[in-house]
Structure 1
Amino acid sequence: MQSIPVDTARLGVLRCAIAPEVKLSNPETQEVKKDRDGNPVYTVAVTVRQDRRRISVIEIAVSGEPKGIDEGQIVKVTGLTAFAWSMGDRHGVSFRADAITPVHGTATAHGKGGDA
């Protein structure tokens, strides 16, 4: 799998669409996916809006639980990497980040302000 570093500065405003959720490696047994170091892997759905055009949603995997992130909040994504994958006739792009952190002082979808 080829990894492609992503320049998040070119992605515009990144906003949490779905708060962090633990990623399951086996939905039937509810087994939590772990990284190489044994940390649980979480996914965060993030909206990307470039050049005031349409919004795309990407799911980003990150090791360990991202803290303080609410839906609607602007977030900072550090070390974002894209991976092209294919399995049989299916293919796509997945995303992984070193960290996802809240940008304080931004409004959330519930109209609350963040910490200033």
Structure 2
Amino acid sequence: MQQIPVDVARLGTMTCIVAPEARLANRETGEVKTNRDGVPVYTVGVAVRQDGRRASIIEISVNGEPAGIAEGVRVAVTGLVAFSWAMGDRHGMSFRADSITPAPPASVPPASASAAASASRKGGEA
């Protein structure tokens, strides 16, 4: 299977829409899939939205349970790679990352911050 590196800087905002879930190796027994080192593999459903475009939803696999990730949390993804796969007449893309962490909070643009400060000094709202 060929790994295709993904430039996450070009993907836009990424938001968790399905909290981390352990990936099952066997649905009948409930056995959790692990990597070569015995670490459980988790999947996270992520909505990806570039500016002015519709959102796409992808499931990303990651080794170990990502801490601090819940539905609605903006996320940062590092080491994202895509794989194309085919089984019989089915085919698609799957994604794996080195890590998924909560994204740092967005900074307030300077113009907005000064307008808010000015409004609060005047007793009004920005």
TM-score for both structures, normalised by structure 2: 0.81
**Where does the alignment leave 5 or more consecutive residues of structure 1 unmatched?**
107-116
Q: Deviations over 1:8-32 (max 9, x none)?
A: 0000001001110000011111000
Letter paired with 1:19: A
**Where does the alignment leave 5 or more consecutive residues of structure 2 unmatched?**
107-126
Sequence identity (%): 66
User: 1:93 aligned to 2:93?
Assistant: yes
Give the deviation of 1:55 after TM superposition.
0.7
Q: Which residue of 1 aligns with 2:4?
A: 4
Structure possessing the higher radius of gyration over alpha carbons: 2
Aligned partners of 1:17 and 1:35: how far apart in 2? 24
Q: Which residue of 2 aligns with 1:114?
A: none
Bigger share in helix? 2
How many residue pairs match? The answer is 106
User: 1:68 aligned to 2:68?
Assistant: yes
TM-score for both structures, normalised by structure 1: 0.88
Query: What is the DSSP-based 3-state SS (H/G/I as helix, E as strand, rest coil) of the residue aligned with 1:51?
Result: coil
Give the deviation of 1:104 after TM superposition.
4.0
Q: Which residue of 2 aligns with 1:53?
A: 53
Q: CA RMSD in A?
A: 1.0
Bigger share in strand? 1
Q: Deviations over 1:51-74 (max 9, x none)?
A: 321111000000001001111111
